[in-house]
Amino acid sequence: MFAKGSLVWLASPLAVAVAVMSASIWFASMIGYVASVLLFLITILLACFFRDPERVIGNGAVSPADGRVAFIDQEGRRLSIVMGLRHVHVTRAPHSGTVAGLERRSGVHRPAYKDVSEKNERTEVVISSELGDLRMTLITGIIARRIFLYVRMGDELRKGDRVGIIRFGSRVDLQLPEGYRITVRLGSKVRAGESQIAEVVDDAA
């Protein structure tokens, strides 16, 4: 299964590859053969990037993204997940709720690490749950230049539903309300919709 909006990214290089290969066969061009092979490889790499597999939804609050936990604040209510090129880049709702806020902010495209990415382009998605608002921020990086959302204001989301995709990267921040306790550690590898990243504390259940 491929992510929404990926068809043009996959079809374009594939169509060019087929056309170049056909011309290479007709004109017996070695350069054309090499170019078509490279285009086919690019199509395969893009197909890997735009993959969107089904997930078995985990317990508690689940990870909004594939990647590695790169930051957890001292209060234990905010964390950052850095995504690599080999990860699935479709983001998912960490908890069930209603889309109560969408804010897109333009900015620069620096490496998506905490100490240098405060001015990067980003989109914040606020999900209103029974325990409060979860703020999910999708952040671009050097390679990642576009955030494509699947959701709109007022949408009802189930835990693990697809929220959007950051094309070719890069980082997702999650701010949890009171009532949750983060259960992952710095450096933990997580999978969107599948890995539990926080649990509801007993007195908030």
Digit-coded pLDDT (tens) for 132-190: 999 999 988 665 567 889 999 999 999 999 999 887 668 899 999 988 999 999 999 99
**Helical spans, DSSP H, in the chain:** 7-27, 30-49
Q: Which of 71, 65, 56 is nearest to 182 (CA)?
A: 71
- DSSP, collapsed to helix, strand or coil, labels residue 203 as helix
**What confidence score (pLDDT) does residue 52 get?**
81
Tell me what the mean pLDDT of segment 113-121 comes to. Answer: 64
Token pair in block for residue 88:
């699935």
Tell me what the mean pLDDT of segment 88-105 comes to. Answer: 93
| Pair 159, 176: CB distance under 8 Å | no
Tell me what the mean pLDDT of segment 186-202 comes to. Answer: 92
Q: What is the CATH number of domain 61-204?
A: 2.70.70.10
| Pair 23, 15: CB distance under 8 Å | no
Q: Which of 139, 144, 128, 68 is nearest to 93 (CA)?
A: 128
Backbone angles phi, psi at 112, to 5 degrees: -85, 50
Instruction: Evaluate if residue 205 carries a pLDDT over 50.
Output: no
Span between the terminal Cα atoms of the chain, in Å: 36
- The single-letter code of the amino acid at 171 is R
Q: Place 22 in a pLDDT band, splitting at 50, 70 and 90.
A: confident
Backbone angles phi, psi at 188, to 5 degrees: -65, 140
Q: Which residue has the higher pLDDT, 61 or 118?
A: 61
Instruction: Evaluate if residue 18 carries a pLDDT over 60.
Output: yes
Q: Which residue has the higher pLDDT, 5 or 87?
A: 87
Q: Residues 12, 170, 188, 195: which is the catalytic one?
A: 170
Side by side, which strands form the sheet with 61-62? 61-62, 196-200, 180-182
Q: Which residue has the higher pLDDT, 60 or 23?
A: 60
Instruction: Evaluate if residue 28 carries a pLDDT over 90.
Output: no
| Pair 179, 132: CB distance under 8 Å | yes
Catalytic (active site) residue 170: yes
Average pLDDT, the chain: 81
Q: In whole angstroms, how far apart are CA 183 and each of 40, 46, 175, 188, 201?
A: 42, 33, 14, 10, 11
Token pair in block for residue 60:
């508690």
User: What are the sequence ranges of the domains in the chain?
Assistant: 7-49, 61-204
Could you give the CA distance from residue 127 to residue 88 in angstroms, rounded to a whole number? 22
Task: Write down the pTM of the prediction.
Answer: 0.76
Specify burial of residue 155 (Cβ count, 10 A radius: 0-12, 13-18, 19+): middle
